[in-house]
Structure 1
Amino acid sequence: MTSNSLPYALIFDMDGTIINNTAIQARAFQLLFRDLGLTTNARRLLERLNGMPATNILKTIFTHSVPEKQLKEYAAQREFLYRVLYWDKRKEVAGLTQFLQAARSAGFKLGLGTGSASDTISYIIDHLDLRRYFDVIVGTDDVDKGKPHADTYSRTCEKLGIPPERCLVFEDAIMGEQAAYKAGMRCVALTTSIKAEKFQAPLHVMKDFTEITPAQVLELLEQSPATPKPNKELAQRNYMKL
């Protein structure tokens, strides 16, 4: 079977992509920082690093070495704060379910690739009854290195059985966009977390899934076959070498 006889696959990030939760994530980090006596601005931090595992994000704010066990405890505290803050606010991004249904009907394979652990994935997608739409779900428990490394998206397309050049990633974060390019995939950007000009080279930029259809996605893929190379300035800064 040739590559061109295979379907296309659409791979979705979770936080900030299928749900608009970046402000809540930032608030949870900010409360943690306050408890630790830190003055780091969580919203600005997430503009740069959103999409990475929480322990890796936390590594960047300390001027001294912090044991991995302690970082995991801080990350667990942040996760608890996030869940309390987000409990009654869990809601999919506008148009998501209709888009997923239409994409499946159009023959696309669908995957979820996130830096979250399995219990956090369940907290979102099972509450919103979204699991049934995804052929494959990959989280931080399934890979060695999180975003901006390619592992999350490479593993997702491997499990889908679709080559990377036939995969399109939906992302809201710089780290996720770079991970897509490192994995040899193209990207559509959502402006739920950062402004459009912050991204490198997405095929399309949108605020939610009411602004695109599977037919338009197919047209974008057919018209723009080349995958951008990762931007060294964005993908290889010191705080990303984790």
Structure 2
Amino acid sequence: MPASQPAYALIFDMDGVLINNTPYQAKAFQLLFRDLGLTTNARQLLRRLNGMPATNILKTVFRHPVPTKQLKEYAAQREFLYRVLYWDKRKETAGLSQFLTAARAAGFKIGLGTGSAPETIGYIIDHLDLRRFFDVVVGKADVENGKPHADTFTVAAQKLGVPPERCVVFEDAILGEQAAYKAGMRCIAVSSGLKPEQFQAPLQVIKDFTNLMPEQVRELLAQHPEVPKPSKEMAKRNYMKL
């Protein structure tokens, strides 16, 4: 890489990307809904709204306004259920550590951009010894507006010192993909919970990291220099109340 060229950066979402935990997230929501007497299908809910803060997701399932304090209590209950369900299942996505090691060796800067709180981030990346790979970690506590707003990825890029057009976001959620485009970044989709055709315009859709090499990412960036515009139609479809 020429010395005058700034580095490229890879920014990873956590849930559904570093780990394949979406089924456990859905189960935790479903148990909470059962406790609250709600009939919402959690899997369908997360296909549309995954990536948003839990309180925002929960806000959509009630037909009446719910105080923020109560939503936070429900979100805490869901988090407890999720941790119990996932405690013995924590495992990185296949090929992740090898890819991160190769990416660092290839000169990529690496960031984490998630909507999770610090304790939830630690529950995953410290248990799996993944923090050592990340130059920066940006979570719920670091931004005012979570996904689908661009803040998470914008702040990560700023902390990495890499312009948005040289950043690639790894996302498993439609709203996370939209947040990447709003931030002026391109995206590689991880199909841990969605079908490839459900994403808008990723550079590539991968199941895991076993067959991805850093040089492929550079080639994809060169082949697709334009950042897609966020889809208003997808936003309307996914934000609507259930």
Q: TM-score, normalised by structure 2?
A: 0.97
1:193 paired residue number: 193
1:30 paired residue number: 30
Letter in 1 for 2:196: A
Kept after mapping to 1: 8 A contact 2:49/2:238: no
Measured on the aligned residues, the alpha-carbon RMSD in Å equals 1.5
Which digits, 9 at most, give the CA deviation of each residue in 1:212-238, with x for residues without a partner? Answer: 100111111111111000000122458
Are the structure 2 counterparts of residues 36 and 217 from structure 1 closer, same or farther at C-alpha, using a change threshold of 3 Å? same
Residue 126 in structure 1 maps to residue 126 in structure 2: yes
Residue 69 in structure 1 maps to residue 64 in structure 2: no
Letter in 2 for 1:213: M
1:100 paired residue number: 100
Residue 78 in structure 1 maps to residue 78 in structure 2: yes
Letter in 1 for 2:129: D
> For residues 31-50 of structure 1, what are the structure 2 equivalents within 5 Å?
31-50=31-50
1:177 paired residue number: 177
Kept after mapping to 1: 8 A contact 2:11/2:111: yes
Q: Which runs of 5+ in 1 are unaligned?
A: none
Are the structure 2 counterparts of residues 240 and 12 from structure 1 closer, same or farther at C-alpha, using a change threshold of 3 Å? farther
* Runs of 4+ that moved beyond 4 A: none
> For residues 136-175 of structure 1, what are the structure 2 equivalents within 5 Å?
136-175=136-175
Letter in 1 for 2:197: E
> For residues 198-209 of structure 1, what are the structure 2 equivalents within 5 Å?
198-209=198-209
Q: Which runs of 5+ in 2 are unaligned?
A: none
Letter in 2 for 1:134: F
CA distance in 2, matches of 1:106, 1:222: 16
Kept after mapping to 1: 8 A contact 2:48/2:238: no
Q: Percentage identity across aligned positions?
A: 74
Letter in 2 for 1:29: F
| Count of matched residue pairs | 240
CA distance in 1, matches of 2:229, 2:69: 35
Which digits, 9 at most, give the CA deviation of each residue in 1:138-171, with x for residues without a partner? Answer: 0011111111110110110011010000000000
Give the secondary-structure state (helix, strand or coil) at the position aligned to 1:202.
Answer: coil
